[in-house]
Every structure is written in C-alpha cells, then in structure tokens.
A and B are shown apart, each in its own frame.
Chain A
Amino acid sequence: MTTARRGSGQLFVAAYVVLLIAFGVIPTGYAVYFAFTDAGDNFAGLSNFVQAATDFRYFAAVGHVALYLVCWLVSLVVFVVGLALLLHRLTADAAGKALRFLYYIPGALAGAASVMVWLFLLDPAVSPVSGLLRVAGFDTFGQVVAPGNLPVLFTLIAFWTGAGGWIVVMYGALNNISPDLLEAARIDGAGPWQTAWRIQIPLLRKWIVYMVILAFAGGTQLFVEPQLLSQASVGVAGRDYSLNQLSYDFAFQNNNVNTAAAISVELLLVGLVVAGVFVARSGFFDAD
C-alpha cells in the first residue's frame, strides 16, 4: 500500500517534473553557463558581467528600472491599500461589488493591449484627456514621452492594468478581519483613520508584502512597455531603456549571447533573493 502510494505520487508529478526541468532548470543552467563562458565556450570568469556593467547603457538601464520600481511600488501600496479601505468602509454591497469589478476590467488589457491604449491616451492629438495634458504643458506626443517622464508613464500603465486585481485581494483580506475587532475599536473611540492605521493596515501587512514582492519581480522584467513605446515615439524613447531590453539587444542585435546571459543571471539573482526574503519573512508558504 505504502509503496503503491509513493509510486503513484511520482507518477502524478512526472509530467510536471519534465516541464520544470526543461523550462525552469535547463534555461537557468544555460544562462549561467553562457554568462561564465565566452563565444568560444571557454571559461570567462566575470568578464561578461564586467562587459555588461561597463556598457554605457547599463547603469542608465539599472537607474531607469530602479526609478520605475520606486514609483510603481509606492503608488501601488498607497493607492491599492487606500482604495481597498475606502471601498470596504463606504460602499453598500452592490455598489462595492460593481466598483471592484469595474476597477478590475483593465486587468484584461495586460500586455501589448494596455500599451496601445496608453499610446492613445498620452497623445494630445487624440487623447480624451488632451485638456489635462495641455494644462500640464504637453502639446505633442513627443513631449509627453520624453525620457524623464517614462517612469511615471510606465507606472501609470502598470497601475492601470494591475491595481484592480490587488484591490480585490485587499478587499477580501479586509473582509476577513473580525467585525468584533472593528466594533471594539469604535467603542474605544477610534475614528476611521485610527482604525485603518492601527488595526486594518497591520492586519493586511502580509498581503501588502506579498503584493510588493510580486510587483517587484514583475517590475524588474519591464520589456513590452518600453519596447512598444520606443517603436511609437520615433526614437524619443530608446530601445535600451530597461535591462531586459538591453539583454535582448545584446543577444539579437550585437550577437553577444554571453553578455545577454550575464544580464539574465543578474536579474534572476535579484529575483531569487527577493523570493528568498519572501519565503523567509512572510510565512506565506507555511502550509506544510
């Protein structure tokens, strides 16, 4: 019986293990192998990493991604938590449900579609908010997508597509907080601000950490937004804005897969460290 059970468990996971090895383990190994060898398959030490780091575009790309991550994570935490608290406090059931659904709709436009929508919205010639853009001093699309504005623009796009889902998650988590607790706080004289700050937000902490870490991992991968924007902006936005774009450029424009792999390995390391912190700190995976 026991042996049969063991055997069956392995049988059930077999196909998954094959995919895991083929599309998780091997590409990771491949990336590491290429990152530490040169074009002639000789061990190259850290020279690929040095080459990436000394490329004139490298630190610019690191800076771009870092700046974008700051804008994106701050706005995500502030507005998602704020909106979830407001929704939870304010709305009657039907209205709240409708609002959550409507906030969620842009989530269906992930990928290239959301960039298309924002290319239009940011073009003063056709934008439904061209008035706002002109008041802010932008008369042409080129002015709007000037490199200095890009972190904010990518944040707008990412927030527009991604925030709705997280609002739903936070709202659900708020619903899990016992009404007795909130009632007790109210009797003790806590206003909405105090209740939110002292009770609700601390209890949401784990979900906020979860959101920040997944958003961080996603943010480091920035590719489709700058890539399409650079196509559309007639060279105002470069093709080497993000690290993934730079890696792509090394691999397919410069035919230098080793340096491209070095950048991939760096991004993977950052992702893994973040994942490690996540697993260790949040207790999220304590299901076992």
Chain B
Amino acid sequence: MPTDRARRRPNPLPALVLVLFLVFFVLPVLWLVLAATKTDDQLVHGHPLSFGSLRALADNWTALTSFQDNAIFGWLGNSALYSFVALAITLCVAIPAGYALAMTEFRGRKTLLVATLVVMLMPNATLVVPLFLELNAVRLIGSMWSVVLPYAFYPFGVYLTYIYFTTAVPRDLIDAAKLDGCTPFGVFRRVALPLAAPIVALVGFFSFVANWTNYFLPYVLLPQSDQFPVQVGLGTLLNSVPQFNPTVGTAAVERPELALATLLAITPVLVVFLFSQRFLVAGMLAGATKE
C-alpha cells in the first residue's frame, strides 16, 4: 500500500530504541575484546574503547599461560573433552530415542514421553547436590564421568528430535521402508537418519553450549583444579585478581589476563554458533508450526 506508507510520518523513536539495545548487547563484547589488548594501567586510564597494543596482548598471553603452569590450556582441554564426549553420547542416545518416540509404538512410550517433558522442565541445578550424593555413593566423584554422564542425559534433545520427526518427516515414508523389508535398524540408519541431519546439528549445538557453559555441576563434582573445565577455571582466575580479591598472594593475575581468559573461554561457542546460526533459528521454532 504505497499511499499508506507515504502518509505515515517516519518516527525516529523505534530506530533509536533498537540502536540503544544494540549498544547494550554489543558494547560489552567489544570492550572485552579490546581489554585483552591492554595493560592494567591502560585499562584504568585509557579510553575504554581504544585498542591497546599487540605487545600488551602478547604479554597478557604470556602471563595468562604461565598462571599455574599452563592451567588455562588444561581447563580448555577439559571443557573440550567433557563437552565432546558428552555430546557424542547425547547424539547416540537422544536421536534414536526421539525417533522411536515419534515413529514407533511400544509399551511405556506415553510414560516415557511425559517423563521427558517433566524432566526437561525440572530445574536441573537443584539436582546437583543429590547427584553429588548419588555419585559419591558409587564412588565416581573425581572422575571425569561424574560430569560427562549427567551432561549426556539431555531430555531437551530427545524432545527436539521427537518434535522434528512428528512434524517434518512423513510417517508413510518409514512405513514404506518397513514394507520393503528393511529391518527396524535399517530404517533408522538408511531412511530416518539421513533426513535427521538438521536436528542432529541442532541438538548437537544446544548440547555443546549447555555443557560448555555449565558451572554449578563441575564446580561441585570435580575436586581438583587440574580437572576443572574453563568455566570453573575462570572462577579460580577471578580469585587471583587482586582488585577483586585483595588477599591473593604471589599468584596474582591482572584484569586484562582475566579478560583474555574469558575471550578464550567463549571462542569455541562463538565459532560453533556462527556455523550453526541457520539451524538455530529454524530449531528454536521447531514446534511453532503446530497449533
């Protein structure tokens, strides 16, 4: 309707609001990136959005990596190990489960579906202390499995897969393959799985991010610093910054190093995020088409 459009006076307020929020969301990230390139002195006295120097960045890198003898790499490695092992288990477990819930009939299916929905909505952090007691009872505390196995349990992934198969894959297709003599496993592997690529990517992304960013569970379950994932490691670093914790002794770290460590901690998530953006938007709306 061109006439209508022409009559409407442009109102600057909405655009202004959008830009203000853009600043709110982006400025801290930008600041964080720049902070890693400064000395602590520049951080306090320089312009907040100035670039420090590559030299300062290199110095920060050296100081950070020398903290507790390369601890940061150990933490990042732990995060990667826990997240990827859990991710692999999650995919092997959640995709077949969601598929079976959507496409096959079996006893207990309805119960399992309800249990999945309930567990999915239950606040997981409240189970951390009971999980500690349980794992303590079976003497798994201190092993990497104490965090990997709880991570691998991912009802949201099962639910997403279930929704995907009920809405996006015609059941006739599965039935036809069965009639053609495919075994149940063959149907899953040759028909369902190739069709499930988008949902595998989506469940993978959500699971990876959830595992990578989890703090409470490893904080409680892993006793030793060299087992920490990077999220808990950041807490250790924070404790060693004199401006935030004046009681710290000789093992001090400065604020730019903490900023650099934070950047390192988020980079894998950002990379995965950039690559899976397309699936994300589609996936967060999975189920939106169902009324």
Contact B185 A90 (CB under 8 A): no
Query: Chain A contact residues (Cβ within 8 angstroms of B): what range?
Result: 35 or more
Bound-complex Cα distance A233 to B289 (A)? 47
Given contacts A12-B97, A12-B100, A91-B18, contact A121 B28 (CB under 8 A): yes
Contact B48 A223 (CB under 8 A): no
Contacting A at CB under 8 A, from B252-288, are: 255, 258-259, 262, 265-266, 269-270, 273, 277, 280-281, 284-285, 287-288
Question: Does B121 touch A at the CB level, under 8 Å?
Answer: yes
Interface string of A193-221 (1 = CB under 8 A from B): 00000000000000100000110011011
Given contacts A23-B153, A160-B25, contact A120 B35 (CB under 8 A): yes
Contacting B at CB under 8 A, from A150-169, are: 160, 163-165, 168-169
Contact A287 B216 (CB under 8 A): no
Q: In the complex, what's the smallest C-beta–C-beta distance from B183 to chain A, in angstroms?
A: 8
- A83, A130, A275 — which one has the most chain B CB atoms within 10 A of its CB? A275
Give chain A residues whose Cβ lies under 8 Å from the Cβ of B281.
Answer: 168, 172
Contact B214 A83 (CB under 8 A): no
Contact B118 A261 (CB under 8 A): no
Q: In the complex, what's the smallest C-beta–C-beta distance from A96 to chain B, in angstroms?
A: 9
Q: In the complex, what's the smallest C-beta–C-beta distance from B83 to chain A, in angstroms?
A: 12
Given contacts A103-B25, A160-B25, A160-B28, contact A112 B121 (CB under 8 A): no
Contact A268 B215 (CB under 8 A): no
Give chain B residues whose Cβ lies under 8 Å from the Cβ of A5.
Answer: 104-106, 178, 184
Contact B105 A6 (CB under 8 A): yes
Across the interface, B123 reaches (CB within 8 A) one of A121, A168, A217, A260, namely: A217
Contact B184 A4 (CB under 8 A): yes
Question: Does B57 touch A at the CB level, under 8 Å?
Answer: no
Bound-complex Cα distance A224 to B216 (A)? 7
Bound-complex Cα distance A34 to B129 (A)? 11
Given contacts A86-B17, A126-B43, A128-B27, contact A24 B119 (CB under 8 A): yes
Bound-complex Cα distance A114 to B101 (A)? 36
Give chain A residues whose Cβ lies under 8 Å from the Cβ of B94.
Answer: 16
Question: Does A81 touch B at the CB level, under 8 Å?
Answer: no
Across the interface, A111 reaches (CB within 8 A) one of B101, B104, B124, B215, namely: B215
Contact A90 B220 (CB under 8 A): no
Contacting B at CB under 8 A, from A266-288, are: 267-268, 270-272, 274-275, 278-279, 284-288
Across the interface, B155 reaches (CB within 8 A) one of A24, A83, A168, namely: A24
Interface string of B110-128 (1 = CB under 8 A from A): 1011011111011111111
Given contacts A121-B31, A287-B166, contact A186 B122 (CB under 8 A): no
Bound-complex Cα distance A164 to B21 (A)? 10
Question: Does B54 touch A at the CB level, under 8 Å?
Answer: no
Contact B270 A108 (CB under 8 A): yes
Give chain A residues whose Cβ lies under 8 Å from the Cβ of B100.
Answer: 8-13
Contact A112 B106 (CB under 8 A): no
Give chain B residues whose Cβ lies under 8 Å from the Cβ of A8.
Answer: 100, 104, 106, 184-185
Contact B132 A251 (CB under 8 A): yes
6 nearest A-B pairs in the assembled complex, by CB-CB distance: A8-B184, A9-B106, A111-B213, A128-B48, A12-B100, A9-B104
12 of the cross-chain contacts (CB-CB < 8 Å) are A5-B104, A6-B104, A20-B115, A30-B130, A110-B213, A113-B265, A117-B32, A141-B244, A160-B24, A217-B121, A251-B132, A279-B117
